Amino acid sequence: MDRVKLSLNESFELANRCLLANGCNVDNAEAVAATILAAERDGCPSHGLFRLPGYVASLRSGKVDGNSSPRVERLAAGVVRVDAGGGYAPLALQIGRPALVEAAQVQGLAALALTNVHHFAALWIEVEALAREGLVAFAFTSYTPSVAPAGSGRPFFGTNPMAFAWPRRDASPMVFDQASAAMAKGEVMIAAREGHELPPGVGLDATGVSTTDPNAILDGGTMLPFGGYKGSSIALMVELLAGGLIGQAFSFEAGERDNKDGGPPRGGELLLAMDPEKFGDPSGWASHCELFFDRLEELDGARLPGSRRYRNREVTPHDGVWVPRSLHETIESLCST
Amino acid sequence: MDRVKLSLNESFELANRCLLANGCNVDNAEAVAATILAAERDGCPSHGLFRLPGYVASLRSGKVDGNSSPRVERLAAGVVRVDAGGGYAPLALQIGRPALVEAAQVQGLAALALTNVHHFAALWIEVEALAREGLVAFAFTSYTPSVAPAGSGRPFFGTNPMAFAWPRRDASPMVFDQASAAMAKGEVMIAAREGHELPPGVGLDATGVSTTDPNAILDGGTMLPFGGYKGSSIALMVELLAGGLIGQAFSFEAGERDNKDGGPPRGGELLLAMDPEKFGDPSGWASHCELFFDRLEELDGARLPGSRRYRNREVTPHDGVWVPRSLHETIESLCST
């Protein structure tokens, strides 16, 4: 494939310039560009510049407010809400994080309900940021229907990722971020774009038959949850936490209301944060967990979740970011409205 | 199979009598017998009377204190700890629940760290109880090594169940309780006892080769996580929450320390509870979620997790509990020490 090489800084500047040219204010553009940079830096192209045309589409359609001013309120001692005001998630998360961290440190644990938000990035970014403040963190968000509940053949759940991060004393946090779908939708979209087949078990075609063709899944078919009915239960839990609990849209509602401009629908996200200093083993938990990680990594074939991203993070500053030329041209054309 | 029919009351009385005869005080015996009753009532024999010989073994070996007096303390505004004092979980949960409920209602969310405990039952019992108090609830506990981390061929994680319950206004809570293993260990043990084959993907034999023979998995082999590396991540998360966070044993430590008497090892459990009245949609969340459940149940083939247990719960008071005759004889013999 014909590709263009960018430095990390160039990939940030490209995203930032494109967002500014399409109506984002400086704060929103920089926050979104930073999440795109983080994805490219960690070798996750499905959440990197690949998403920029979708961001731009939703600015141009007026669905997303690129000038949003997220508003922080306290709903209870342990519950912070950030109303993103119809903007993207990154700025709202950045503004809400200090209140969440402070509440978790005082109460032992706290929640952040992110409302009226358009989430189009990976969740590991926000849970890693919390773990770097010393907190255990969860994040949940839903999307629009693309995954069939176990036993059914029609999409109803979103890809519904759940992320979890664990702080470590002398190492980067242990982080996982996994879709409840058998495969992240971004990966299915990239397979379709690049003409790759998928492994079995990822989805059904429009007639409900299992398929390995990404286009058949995206065109009227459905993805499946990972791990059968257990992954389906996780997807259901994510709907309730990111939707029902905090008064935001379920995936089926987000799908019905969305203008289908290719950008992210409006929905909610729930974050939970816990301070391990407040759970009964303040002097011991960190080294105790290192012992656990050591034992796990001694097993042949086992590895800590997130370790591949951290390896990529060391390499990309030297190797740069490789962007498909067609995507790069699309983005450049979107910079001049 | 030759079976004995008991009424629900008879199954409770049998368990209670057997526990009293083996050194439990009245409070502990009744609490454990009630969880055994709940499992039999809901058609979950793998957590019912089938567990009683294991309970008795751990009383007779002195590993578990049948006279434990669980002690409740507050570690932070949102964090309750119940030190079970080396006893079984049911009494400690019963004693700790009011403090957890009160903290969650005040702070919006709260945690309960259950320490020095022997957990040998299903987790849906405790999360359902919290949901019946109007709270969203999570529970996590580890065990002893029986599940291989993704990519490896040796057991390291416990079966590591995670349970989740959602309160509903005019219906029983939506509850799921699922092992991170591809199958609950109790189910593998029952398949071994009854001579059934397992579906593929449940485990590896002692040489690391996939097998459908439950005995090959239990005798030196390993179970696998559900859903590949994603289920493995969930199992890892459970280890950290039920062990590292609250200063309790990881599964590998519990396994090393356990006396292998057939009863449950000593470990920890973490519960989280959230009050949906405090998350920003107090007047709307309940009916909004009913709309979601309705739409889900309208899909051909889909069903709410836990619905089969609720159906069994209606039937067993009339149909009774069917216990294998050999198990019944074993239990009766354990009643006379």
Q: Which pLDDT score, from 0 to 100, does residue B206 have?
A: 92
CB contact under 8 A, A280 and B247: yes
Write down the residue that tokens 């006379």 correspond to.
B336
On chain A, the residues whose CB falls within 8 A of the CB of B78 are 77-78, 107-110
The SS3 of residue B72 is strand
CB contact under 8 A, B79 and A111: no
On chain A, the residues whose CB falls within 8 A of the CB of B245 are 136, 274, 276, 279, 281, 285
Which member of A252, A276, A281 has the closest CB to residue B295? A252
- The tens place of each residue's pLDDT in chain A, 337 residues long, gives 799 999 999 999 999 999 999 999 999 999 999 999 999 999 999 899 999 999 999 999 999 999 999 999 999 999 999 999 999 999 999 999 999 999 999 999 999 999 999 999 999 999 999 999 999 999 999 999 999 999 999 999 999 999 999 999 999 999 999 999 998 777 888 899 899 999 888 999 999 899 999 999 999 999 999 999 999 999 999 999 999 999 999 999 999 999 999 999 999 999 999 999 999 999 999 999 999 999 999 999 999 999 999 999 999 999 999 999 999 999 999 998 6
Identify whether the C-beta of residue B31 lies closer than 8 Å to the C-beta of residue B94.
yes
Residue of B nearest to A283 (CA): B247
Q: Which pLDDT score, from 0 to 100, does residue B201 have?
A: 87
Q: Is B119 a catalytic residue?
A: no
CB contact under 8 A, B110 and A115: no
Where does A156-281 show beta strands of DSSP type E? 162-166, 174-178, 203-204, 210-211, 222-223, 267-274
- Give the span between the Cα atoms of B186 and A232, in whole angstroms: 22
Is A264 within 8 Å of chain B by CB?
A: no
Minimum distance, in Å, between the CA of residue B104 and any CA atom of chain A: 9
Start-end of H helices in B108-228: 124-131, 185-194, 214-218
Q: Which pLDDT score, from 0 to 100, does residue A337 have?
A: 67
Distance of alpha carbon A294 from its chain centroid, rounded? 28
Q: Which CATH class is domain A3-181+225-282+306-335?
A: alpha beta
Q: Which pLDDT score, from 0 to 100, does residue B337 have?
A: 66
Which member of B149, B245, B303 has the closest CB to residue A279? B245
Distance of alpha carbon B66 from its chain centroid, rounded? 19
Q: Which pLDDT score, from 0 to 100, does residue A138 have?
A: 98
Which member of B75, B107, B151 has the closest CB to residue A78? B107
Other CB atoms closer than 10 Å to residue B27's CB: what's the count? 18
Other CB atoms closer than 10 Å to residue A301's CB: what's the count? 12
The SS3 of residue A251 is helix
Q: Which of A12, A323, A167, A202 is nearest to B240 (CA)?
A: A167
On chain B, the residues whose CB falls within 8 A of the CB of A111 are 108-109, 274, 279
Q: Which pLDDT score, from 0 to 100, does residue B190 have?
A: 84
Is A280 within 8 Å of chain B by CB?
A: yes
Q: Which pLDDT score, from 0 to 100, does residue A88 have?
A: 98
Minimum distance, in Å, between the CA of residue A285 and any CA atom of chain B: 6
Q: Which pLDDT score, from 0 to 100, does residue A200 have?
A: 84
Q: Does the structure's ipTM exceed the value 0.90?
A: yes
Residue A34: its H or E element:
helix A26-41
On chain B, the residues whose CB falls within 8 A of the CB of A152 are 299-302
- Give the span between the Cα atoms of A143 and A188, in whole angstroms: 15
Residue among A46, A69, A172, A233 flagged as catalytic: A46
Q: Which pLDDT score, from 0 to 100, does residue B9 have?
A: 97
User: For residue A231, what are its two tokens?
Assistant: 């992954």
CB contact under 8 A, A302 and B151: yes
Which member of B153, B279, B299 has the closest CB to residue A154? B299
Minimum distance, in Å, between the CA of residue B147 and any CA atom of chain A: 12
CB contact under 8 A, A280 and B150: no
Which member of A79, A108, A149 has the closest CB to residue B77? A108
Residue among B30, B133, B187, B239 flagged as catalytic: B187
Q: Is B46 a catalytic residue?
A: yes
Distance of alpha carbon B271 from its chain centroid, rounded? 12
CB contact under 8 A, A109 and B109: yes
Report whether CATH 3.30.1370.60 matches the domain B3-181+225-282+317-335: yes
On chain A, the residues whose CB falls within 8 A of the CB of B115 are 280
Q: Which pLDDT score, from 0 to 100, does residue A100 have?
A: 98
- Give the span between the Cα atoms of A198 and B307, in whole angstroms: 33
CB contact under 8 A, B233 and A164: yes
- Give the span between the Cα atoms of B316 and B312, in whole angstroms: 6
Distance of alpha carbon A334 from its chain centroid, rounded? 23
Minimum distance, in Å, between the CA of residue B56 and any CA atom of chain A: 30
User: For residue B240, what are its two tokens?
Assistant: 């950290």
Is B229 within 8 Å of chain A by CB?
A: yes
Residue among B47, B118, B119, B328 flagged as catalytic: B47
Q: Which pLDDT score, from 0 to 100, does residue B286 have?
A: 98
| Domain edges within chain B | 3-181+225-282+317-335
Minimum distance, in Å, between the CA of residue A14 and any CA atom of chain B: 34
User: For residue A325, what are its two tokens?
Assistant: 């030329």
Is A81 within 8 Å of chain B by CB?
A: yes
Q: Which pLDDT score, from 0 to 100, does residue A189 have?
A: 86
CB contact under 8 A, A272 and B109: yes
Is B26 within 8 Å of chain A by CB?
A: no
Q: Is A46 a catalytic residue?
A: yes
Residues 180-219 of A with CB under 8 A from B: none
CB contact under 8 A, B240 and A76: no
- Give the span between the Cα atoms of A235 and A233, in whole angstroms: 5
Is B276 within 8 Å of chain A by CB?
A: yes
Q: Which residues of chain B have pLDDT under 70?
A: 337
pTM for the full predicted model = 0.96
